[in-house]
Amino acid sequence: MSTGIPDAYVRTSSLVLRQREHLEIDILKKSQLVEISSTRRSPRIRLQVPVFLRAADVSGAEFIELTKTLNISSTGACITSVHILRPEQIVHLTIPAPAAASSSLVPSETPPIIARVLRQESAGHMRLFGLEFLRPLE
């Protein structure tokens, strides 16, 4: 390989991969709170966050459902729903804000997170959906 910036990039990528492998081992020792996969752009955190899911079901009927995430990352989430969603469908997630009287520091409304449905699995009467955020969370 040539020297210079491309070579530095390769060395940096190798270093990052070694750090990710080390991180994965450490995480496994700590009850698997984060999942890392070679195909993921960012690690998932097993965290249940209540969210309002706003979308249209397969019949076209719009709905708003209070549901939760099962895991979340900066680029996506896995959520539960009783509704059937289509692959590639765009959905809106909103995190419920506490009552306005509880804190003046918390905004009364959170902006919606727009996501695309990537996959679906059934778990009893619930369905699990893998979502990709159109804009990564900051």
Give the model's pLDDT for residue 91: 98
Give the model's pLDDT for residue 68: 96
Please give the mean pLDDT across all residues of the chain.
75
* Helices and strands counted in the chain (H then E): 1, 8
Q: pLDDT tens for residues 50-84?
A: 999 999 998 999 999 999 999 999 999 999 999 99
Round to whole Å and give the CA distance between 28 and 8.
30
For the cut 50, the answer to whether the pLDDT of residue 32 exceeds it is no
Q: pLDDT tens for residues 81-132?
A: 999 999 999 999 999 877 665 556 666 667 899 999 999 998 888 899 999 9
Task: List C-alpha distances in Å: 11 to 3, 21, 22, 53.
Answer: 11, 16, 17, 42
